[in-house]
Amino acid sequence: MQNYSRQSLANALKNQVRRLSDNIASLDKLSSRLSMGRLFGFVGGLTLVYTAGKWGPEWLFWIMLVGFLFGFSRLVKIHNKIEQSKEEFKIWKSIRENHLARQQLTWQEYSRTRNHLKLRRSSLCQRPRYYWQPFPAPTY
């Protein structure tokens, strides 16, 4: 087992925070491009389905409708995965910033990242969080 110096661990954490920030920025750009793609795909798909229904045979309309619904649902699924990845990277970045603040003993930064992390965890939770207990606290 190697013993790493405190400075080398701090540099590693700073590099991880930087890489996570870069990944979040690239995912944010990709997410905005997919948002525009979803808009154009929706409008273009509805236009194609409408024109197929108006001037084409009935079978073409149904094929276009099924293709549009399948394609749009796949695009939404991909976009949701990217948004979820972006949220996970933000959580990981908060954890790394928290470790860095604890290592450098910057308690103001530690409390800020700790509260930010607590809010993110509760926002990702699928079921509602209850801050009360159904049973009284035990007395010893």
Q: How far apart are the first and last CA of the chain?
A: 44
| Among candidate residues 31, 29, 66, the one with its CA nearest the CA of residue 45 | 66
Does residue 135 sit within a domain? Answer: no
Note whether residue 95 is domain-resident.
yes
Residue 5 vs residue 51, higher pLDDT: 51
- Look at the chain and report how many structural domains it folds into: 1
- What was the pLDDT predicted at 134? 52
Span 117-129, pLDDT tens digits: 555 555 555 544 4
CA distances from 7 to 3, 104, 106, 110 (A): 12, 10, 15, 18
Domain-located, residue 132: no
Report the candidate in 82, 73, 72 with the shortest Cα–Cα distance to residue 28: 82
Is residue 2 a part of any domain in this protein? no
45-80 residue pLDDT tens: 999 999 999 999 999 999 999 999 999 999 999 999
Residues 38-60, buried b or exposed e (16+ Cβ, 10 A)?
Answer: eeebeeebeebbeebeeeeeeee
Residue 59 lies in a domain: yes
* Helix, strand, or coil (residue 140): coil
Confidence at residue 136, expressed as pLDDT on a 0 to 100 scale = 56
Domain that holds residue 58: 14-123
Q: What is the pLDDT of residue 128?
A: 47
Instruction: Name the residue among 99, 72, 93, 71 with its Cα closest to residue 27.
Output: 93
Query: Is 133 a member of any domain?
Result: no
